[in-house]
Structure formats: C-alpha cells, structure tokens
Amino acid sequence: MTADSGTLERVLDGEQMHRIVRRMAGELIEQNQGATDLVLIGIRTRGVPLAMALGEEIRRMEGGSEVPQGVLDITLYRDDLSTIAPQPVVKETHLPGSIEGRTVVLCDDVLFTGRTIRAALDALIDYGRARAVRLAVLVDRGHRELPIQADVVGHSLATTASDLVEVAFSDTDGRDEVVLHRNAR
C-alpha cells in the first residue's frame, strides 16, 4: 500500500509496535487461558507478519512450543469482484492442518470497513468448524460497514474515510512502523 499524496504522520515507531505486539500476545493468552489449541491465521498480505510476530511472542511467553500458523487469501471471497476489473491476483491459502475444534485467531494489520474480515470468516468456515474464531488487529481505524469488532486491538486510531493507514513490518518491508497518510484516497 503506497500513498500518492496527502500529508504523512508516523503513528507508531518500531519500539512502540514491539511493545504493542507483546501486549496483544499477552491478551490472547489470557483470553484463551493459555496457548493450547490456538491457531494463528494471518490474512494476506500484512496480517501474515503480524501473525508471525504474535506467534513468536506467544511461544516465548508460554515457553517453547510453536503456535501453529496459517496464511489466508480472501480474494475468492471478496464481495467486490463483480465491480472491479481486472481481477485481483489470487494467492495461495495454507492452513496448518485442520482447524476443527481449535481456536482460530484471525490476524490483520488494519481493521477498517470489516469487509475483509467478513470474507475471511466465510473462507475459514469452508475449512471446517473451529471451536471459536477471534480477531486480532494491530490498528483499528474505525468506519465499520459491517457489525464486526476485534477481540484484541493493538492501537485505536481516529481517522477520516479518506485517510490511508500503512503498516510496515521488517519481514516484508524492511522496517517496523505505522504511518497515517492524511487525505490519501
């Protein structure tokens, strides 16, 4: 996600992000009463590094065992396919085995209209019946268009609809930060 115009404002730096991710990991462990049966699923694209970061923190806090992680591509479930052209690129989805009876944590960088999460929920259901599905987002910027709320929020940010929130992770972007582009759309 790149912005072409508008003013730029750094919302979180790397240090702040790390701290927030640690807190989010803690909240997830607390809500789940541990990491047992937890599956972290990152929504492409920037939900993936968030899931990885959360997984790493949870492993550290809970002592050793890997938290299963997956990657979800929601393209095939989007509700705007008939209005956009050409088609968006479809990428692969891979889940770490069955989600049957487990607690799935959907991870995404920014929660905005809620449509991505709706698509992700639909996709997830096609893979089996999870015991529960939770939502963890790094930034909640408001302006929901569907009745969806996150269970764990890293940072709440007041924005206008025309703003653009850009989340960068060192794994994918070479740096950790959250930037707000004012009037970018």
Partner 1 sequence: MNETNWHRKDLLGIAELSAAEIELILDTAESFREVAERPIKKVPTLRGKTVINLFFEASTRTRSSFEIAEKRLSADGLNFSSSSSALVKGESLVDTARNLQAMSPDLIVIRHGHPGVPHRLARLLEAGVINAGDGAHEHPTQALLDAFTIRQHKGQIGGLRVAIIGDIEHSRVVRSNIHLLQKLGASVVVAGPRTMMPVGIEGLGVDVAYSLDEALDGADVVMMLRIQLERQGRPLIPSIKEYFSLFGLTRDRLGLANEDAIVMHPGPMNRGVEIASDVADGPESVILAQVANGVAVRMAILYLLSGVRGAA
87 contributes a contact to partner 1 by CB under 8 A: yes
Interface pick for partner 1 out of 23, 36, 76, 156 (rule CB under 8 A)? 76
Beta bridge pairs of residue 69: 40
2 contributes a contact to partner 1 by CB under 8 A: no
Q: Shortest approach of partner 1 to residue 65 CB, angstroms?
A: 26
4 contributes a contact to partner 1 by CB under 8 A: no
Number of residues that bind partner 1 (CB under 8 A): 23
175 contributes a contact to partner 1 by CB under 8 A: no
Find the radius of gyration of the CA atoms of the chain: 16
103 contributes a contact to partner 1 by CB under 8 A: no
94 contributes a contact to partner 1 by CB under 8 A: yes
Structural tokens at position 122: 């639909």
Candidate ranges 88-96, 149-157, 160-168, 169-177; the one touching partner 1 (CB under 8 A): 88-96
69 contributes a contact to partner 1 by CB under 8 A: no
Which of 142, 152, 149, 141 lies closest to 180, judged by CA? 141
* Mutual angle of helices 14-32 and 47-62, in 10-degree steps: 60
Element (H, E) at 52: helix 47-62
81 contributes a contact to partner 1 by CB under 8 A: yes
88 contributes a contact to partner 1 by CB under 8 A: yes
Interface pick for partner 1 out of 73, 109, 140, 177 (rule CB under 8 A)? 73
Structural tokens at position 16: 């702040």
CA 21 – CA 46 distance, rounded (Å): 14
- Residues 78-82: contacts with CB under 8 Å, at least 24 apart: 78/115, 78/119, 79/115, 79/118, 79/119, 80/115
Would you say 42 and 48 are in contact if contact means Cβ atoms under 8 Å apart?
yes
Interface pick for partner 1 out of 63, 86, 147, 174 (rule CB under 8 A)? 86
List residues near partner 1 by CB under 8 A: 1, 73, 75-77, 81-82, 84-94, 122-123, 126-128
